[in-house]
Structure formats: C-alpha cells, structure tokens
Structure 1
Amino acid sequence: MTTTATRPGGAKPRAAISARTLRTDRWWLAPLLTVTGLTAWVAYATVRVFMQKWYFLEGPGFKYLTPFYSPCVSKGCVPEAAEFGTFLPDHPLIPYAALSLPFLLLFRLTCYYYRRAYYRSFWMSPPACAVPDGHKTYSGETRFPLIFQNAHRYAFYAAFVISLINTWDAVVSFEGTEGLGFGLGNIVLWVNVIMLWAYTVSCHSCRHIIGGRLKHFSKHPVRYRMWTFVSRLNAKHMQLAWITLATLALTDFYVMGVSAGWWNDLRFIN
C-alpha cells in the first residue's frame, strides 16, 4: 500500500515512496561501463609510462615515438628520441615524459565531459537521472579539491602546445636513418594526432576563447566561422574523448610492439 506524507500549507500530499528509484531500466549500466573503461585505460597507461622501454624505434624510413613518451626529456631517453633535449633525471619513478603528462592529466581530469563521467560513475553524484545522489551533502565545485576544476581553461593552453609536439612527432616519423619512407606506423601516428586535435579544439574552453566574448558576430566573420566549426566539434566532445583514449592506447601499443620486435612495421615506401 502507498502511504502519503502531509505537507505544510494545505498542499496536496506527496506519496511516501521507500524505493531508492522507480526506474526499471538498466540505469546502472552506463556508470559501470565508464568505471570499467577508465580504470582499464588508467591501469594500462600507468604501466606503460613507467616501463621506460619499447617506446621508440628508428629504421631506414621511419622514426616512431609513442605519445606516452613525448616529449622524451629524461636523461635516460634514447638520444634520437630526445627532440627537445634531456634535462630530467633518469629515475624509475619519474616518467620520461614527465614534462607533459601532468598537464595532459589535468586537462583530462578537468574536462567538462570527464567531470560528468567520473562524478556519475566513481562518485555516484548522481549516478543517473532520477536516481538519488550517493552523498548526503553537495557543495558543487566551490570547495577543495574540486575548486581546482576551474583550472581547465589554463590546462587547455598546455594541451594545445603538447598537441603541437605530437604533430611534430608525426611529421618527423616519415624520416629515418636512410631518408624518407611511409608505413602503417605513420598512419597510426597521424590518425591519433588528428583525433587529438579534434578533441582538444572541441573543448568548451577553446569554444569560449574563439567566440565566447564576441558581442557582434557580424563584425568578426572569420572568428564566427571558426566558432561555428568548433561548436560542431563540441557537440561530439564526449565521443572524441573516448575515441582519443582508444587512439592513444592503440598508437602506444603499436609502437611498443614494433619496438619490442613482436611484429614488423608494414612498409609501403622504403
């Protein structure tokens, strides 16, 4: 039997429902998949950045550097992979790409989509629509540590620079010890770079930088066209966030396999 609770002011009573939610669909599936996917990716990435091997290979017509080790600035880096010099100490607990990884992590953690993803999945706040929050109180992003989510706009600039570095890695990947060449590894690197650029410029901060403060689009036609382009990408920000996780892992795995000798790079030219 459904009971009712009396409300003040003579308002109509509300049904006192003891169930946590009346949803009968599998609302828990999306948070579960998010937890599984992000946990698996973080585990793989953590292992790889601390392996400090199988990250670079140079041949007759190619030079492949995995994005997990770019830029390689540790004194333990292979000299050919250190395009920007080596100035970090060589230590098992310091990743070879320690200069870029913290900023990339900050950019992803503060991303508007990822915030929604791990708030709903790991923190259950809330796990789904029409499902109660897993916490008794809610302070939003106004207190420590979530107040640092506001650093996302600054992390974007760092991610932009790192995307330029990844692009440079893709450009020089065509040149090896015996001149220019072209292989499957080049395609893998470039697909990853293109997807990374799409994810980076689809960021809400980028959209605001381009056209967020304009009062008259008609007076700024170039920026308006750029804003409309970024806005279309912004609508796919969630998909691009997951696609780039996949391309990063696949690119790293491919370079690792070629470097470790598990398989040979498929060469088309040289």
Structure 2
Amino acid sequence: MSSTTDAAAGRAQIAARTLRTDRWWLPPLANFVGLAAWVIYATVRVFMQSDYWVADYGYLTPFYSPCFSTGCVPEASHFGQFLPDVWFIPYAALTLPFLLLFRLTCYYYRKAYYRAFWLSPPACAVAEPHRKYSGETRFPLILQNAHRYFFYLAALITLINAYDAVIAFVKPDGSFGLGLGNIILVANVVLLFIYTASCHSCRSGVGGRINNFSKHPMRYKMWTFVTKLNTRHMQYAWATLASLAITDFYIMAVSAGWISDLRIVG
C-alpha cells in the first residue's frame, strides 16, 4: 500500500500532515503514557519476587498466580512448585506470557498501541510516517491471528484467579474471613471475566457459524449478551489494567507491612 501522501494513491496532496484543528494527538499520547506506565509497573513487580502473598489472610496477587517457582511461599503455590528459582524467571512464568499475548493481540489494544507507539496512523485523517504498510500479513504481526487461542488460555487463567479469590475467604486456621483485600480480589476477578467475555473472539465463538439464530435461541441470547459487553470492550480493557495494578499494589502494601488490611469479619 502506498504512503498516505503518495499522489498515486489518489489522496489530496497537502503540505500539512493533517487539516484537523482539534487535539487529535491527545488520545494517542494518553494511551502511550498509560500503557507505558502500566508495563513498567508490571515488569518491576513480576521480577521483584517479594511481597506477593499475605499469609494471615491468604491473599495472592494475580501477578504471581499461579505461583509455580520453587522459591514461592509453599502456601501460595496452589498448583505445585516445579520452576527453578532464578531472578529472570517470574514465579508465574507459565501463565504470564499467555496473558501478555492475549492483551497484545486484543483488537482494542492493537488499535491503542499501533497509534500510540507506532503512529500507524496516530489518528484518523492524520498521515502516518511510514512509507510502506504490510498490515498483519508478515512476522511478527501475523501472530495477531492467533488471538482466539490466547483467549481460551486467558479464560482458563481467569478461572485460576477466581479460585485464588474464593479460597482467600478461608483463613489459615480454617475460619471464615472477610476484609478489604477479599473485596478487591473479587472485584478484580469480576472485571477480568467481563473483559474476557467482551472479547471479539468470545463473541465470534458464541454466535459464529450460525446461519439462522431462530434455530438456536440460547446461543442467540448468549450472543446478544456478549455483543452488549463488546460495545464497551475498550472501557473494560482499561478497567482491568487499573484493577490488576490496584489489586497487586494493595496486596504488596499489606504484605510489606506498609498498611494493615481493613477487616470486616475475622
């Protein structure tokens, strides 16, 4: 595909990059700052290998779930320990790459980081600086087509996060407990489920390959529900980034002794 300023492309030839007079640069700039800040925070946290578990209340941050490393606190390893304990391997190394790939290949995130980081294009009606465009037909962007498979794995990992949130209601002594940490863990899991269910791949899986919805009323109802969620996929994408960071930071703060968990029961 030719450049957006190429006369052969049949587009208007103007000296300015765009004739837009609004602050078109603000959304991509905000996305750049937000995504970069989250990636930096998450990267630091997953390699800290500390302050991820609150023994008194069974809180496990989603950044370390499931905790497979031999360096994990035994009580935090709900599914065994078999990864070597070295600094360059995250404690949840078997799941974090798939969660990252699920987010990277997400339709909304593609739009966000294509515009914010690659300026391809930075906004509607704004010429991009790249002379050539090959789309998602070459490596590595051709891997974007595997999004649906990462969706299945992300859904499974979300179930694991839900398990962590549920068992945290049982204190080490076997009694029931409820604190602010429990509420935060549950709220994070609910948002993760909503974000995952609002995924375009989920919508396609629920209602795809059906020629007549009237013959499949249950799938039609499910498809309608997922479609409504899908209209707010962008909001859920950002909400889950916020909830993951808040959940992790709260558990880190309690684990490190910076604050005490607000207890409601037990």
SS of the residue corresponding to residue 83 of structure 2 reads coil
Conserved 8 A contact 1:55-1:65: yes
Q: How far apart, CA to CA, are the structure 2 residues paired with 1:186 and 1:204? A: 30
Specify the alignment match of 2:97 in structure 1: 102
Specify the alignment match of 1:151 in structure 2: 146
Higher-strand-fraction structure: 1
- Aligned match for 2:50, one of 42, 53, 57: 53
Question: 1:58/1:25 Cα in 2 relative to 1: closer, same or farther (>3 Å)?
Answer: same
TM-score (norm 2): 0.95
Q: Which runs of 5+ in 1 are unaligned?
A: 1-6
Specify the alignment match of 1:188 in structure 2: 184
Alpha-carbon deviation of 1:176? 1.2
Specify the alignment match of 2:66 in structure 1: 71
Conserved 8 A contact 1:123-1:134: no
- Aligned match for 2:17, one of 20, 27, 32: 20
Matched, 1:39 2:42: no
Matched, 1:176 2:135: no
Once the two structures are superposed, what CA deviation does each residue of 1:205-264 show, in whole Å capped at 9, x if it has no partner? 000000111111111111111111100000000000000000000000000000000000
Matched, 1:269 2:265: yes
Larger radius of gyration: 1
Aligned length: 258
Percent sequence identity is 67
Q: How far apart, CA to CA, are the structure 2 residues paired with 1:149 and 1:165? A: 25
Question: 1:14/1:205 Cα in 2 relative to 1: closer, same or farther (>3 Å)?
Answer: closer
Matched, 1:113 2:117: no
RMSD: 1.5
Q: Which runs of 5+ in 2 are unaligned?
A: 1-6
Specify the alignment match of 1:4 in structure 2: none
SS of the residue corresponding to residue 268 of structure 1 reads strand
Q: How far apart, CA to CA, are the structure 1 residues paired with 2:101 and 2:247? A: 21
Specify the alignment match of 2:3 in structure 1: none
Alpha-carbon deviation of 1:58? 2.0
Conserved 8 A contact 1:56-1:255: yes
Once the two structures are superposed, what CA deviation does each residue of 1:147-200 show, in whole Å capped at 9, x if it has no partner? 000010100010010000000000001011221111100000000000000000
Q: How far apart, CA to CA, are the structure 2 residues paired with 1:158 and 1:31? A: 29
Specify the alignment match of 1:83 in structure 2: 78
